[in-house]
Amino acid sequence: MALLRIRKDGDDVLRGKARPVTNVNASIRQLVEDMVETMRASRGIGLAAPQVGVPRRLIVIETDDALHEVVNPEVVRAEGREVAIEGCLSVAGVVGEVDRAAKVRVTGLDRDGRTIWLEGDGILARVLQHEIDHLDGVLFTDKALAVYETEPAHYPEAKRLKVLFMGTPQFAVMSLLSILRDGHTVSAVVTQPDRPRGRGMEVAASPVKQFAVKHRLPVLQPGDCASSEFVRRVAELEPDVIVVVAFGRILPRSLLDIPRLGCINVHASLLPRYRGAAPINWAVMNGESVTGVTTMYMTERLDAGDIILQKEVPISPQDNAGTLHDKLMVEGAALAEETLRLISLGKAPRTAQDEGSATYAPLLTLKDEMIDWNRTVERVCNQIRGMSPCPGAHTVRSGKKLKVLQASAVQDEPRHGSPGEVLAADEAGGFVVKACDGAVRLEEVQPEGGRRMPAVDYLRGARVLPCEVLGANT
């Protein structure tokens, strides 16, 4: 076996359409072995033949200790959608958020020329699609919704730390990436157990686990963070510091006492405001014009530890919870990186929180999701922004939920109608609903059991009539 040179963005071979393999012979099998060796040596999770300069339709993938070698791969079925962070051995210095099918079925040939079928979800589905894109001359950056630079910061005076990382959702992935790129050693990644997710409620790994597996980091998924077995396992790792980003649980004192430099948390608000599980949603719903991220030393109390660093982030009138999430995710990763630098130098500041200024951002409930048309136009629009894209604010029409994912205030305030009443329902006037002091134009909706769509598309098939009343009792 031989290590092959990985081609980088700008090389013409990455932009051409690879040719099918017509004969799975000894030379193809040797190429497969060399690609596997190259992928492993580069700490990759997938590799396509064009990435090593060979314009043939051949990919190798290794996830969860399972090796997949597919000649002439073809996606024959795709289901669902998921957005996640991706990188590439051929594209240095950036990662991106890419929207892909959540589950795929792929057919192709094995190294002996026999037909195979491969079902994949989670990270396997993502890597299959990523590598097959390479065969068509497509890079992940071509499809990315957003691209972030990942070139390491250079702090010659800073010390590299041994980090235990704890996180679960997509928001935490960027911080983990930032810690790795800055040269710290991540001894293990702790994340929530695999759980049913999505509309199909199929068991899937968290985004943090998917990222950790891709980067070959040890993963721990304790059912109980206070169990003596888990605490002992963490103590054996001897971390200098524990970094927690949206992990989803309060840590017991037995864990907080383990790292010699403490446990730090990245929180998506300007503490002490918006302590709790849903700071991004509540900041938007409450009509804030600015929020931010905070790093703090953790205590047993919820988000009450001493502040290390903070960074303000403006909230524009066009932001919703999703767009603000992405802004704070990037800023939080940068703040985590700077915080670890200061901690390594013994220069991290420490400021107690003002308990009198504390506010809270509790978990969202079904009641929070329900649109109350008796509120002002501003509050209704803020609620819709703060709930979009997930979980989605909703009203009720004909006994079924209708999610409203985007809306705006109608400038000419109508003085007739009662709250929840449909004032217009056609392509010319749009889908307009009365609030207590004006009207709201619904711009994007999702009927119960259906897909999200422009409101005008919904009107074409739903037969909404002016004077209908939307709300919990309709």
Q: Which positions are catalytic?
A: 46, 51, 88-89, 130-131, 134
Answer for the pair 71, 31: CB distance below 8 angstroms, yes or no. Answer: no
Question: What is the separation of C-alpha 372 from the centre of its chain, rounded to a whole number of angstroms?
Answer: 29
Answer for the pair 439, 414: CB distance below 8 angstroms, yes or no. Answer: yes
Tokens of 294: 């905070």
CA distances from 37 to 60, 81, 210 (A): 10, 32, 22
Residues 6+ apart with CB under 8 A from 457: none
Answer for the pair 354, 272: CB distance below 8 angstroms, yes or no. Answer: yes
Q: How far apart are alpha carbons 303 and 275 in whole angstroms? A: 6
Answer for the pair 306, 351: CB distance below 8 angstroms, yes or no. Answer: yes
DSSP string, 230-288: HHHHHHHH--SEEEEES-SSPPPHHHHTSSTT-EEEEESSSTTTTBSS-HHHHHHHTT-
DSSP string, 319-382: --HHHHHHHHHHHHHHHHHHHHHHHHTT----B---GGG--B-PPP-HHHHB--TTS-HHHHHH
Q: How far apart are alpha carbons 425 and 431 in whole angstroms? A: 5
| 3-class secondary structure, 86 | strand
Radius of gyration of the chain (CA): 25
Residue whose pair of structure tokens reads 């891709």 in the numeric block: 214
Picking from 265, 260, 224, the residue whose alpha carbon sits closest to that of residue 246 is 265
- Phi/psi for 212 (5° steps) reads -65, -40
Q: How far apart are alpha carbons 133 and 64 in whole angstroms? A: 22
Tokens of 457: 């598309």
| 3-class secondary structure, 51 | helix
CA distances from 54 to 6, 47, 111 (A): 10, 11, 16
Q: How far apart are alpha carbons 268 and 251 in whole angstroms? A: 18
End-to-end CA distance of the chain: 69
* DSSP-assigned letter for residue 152: P
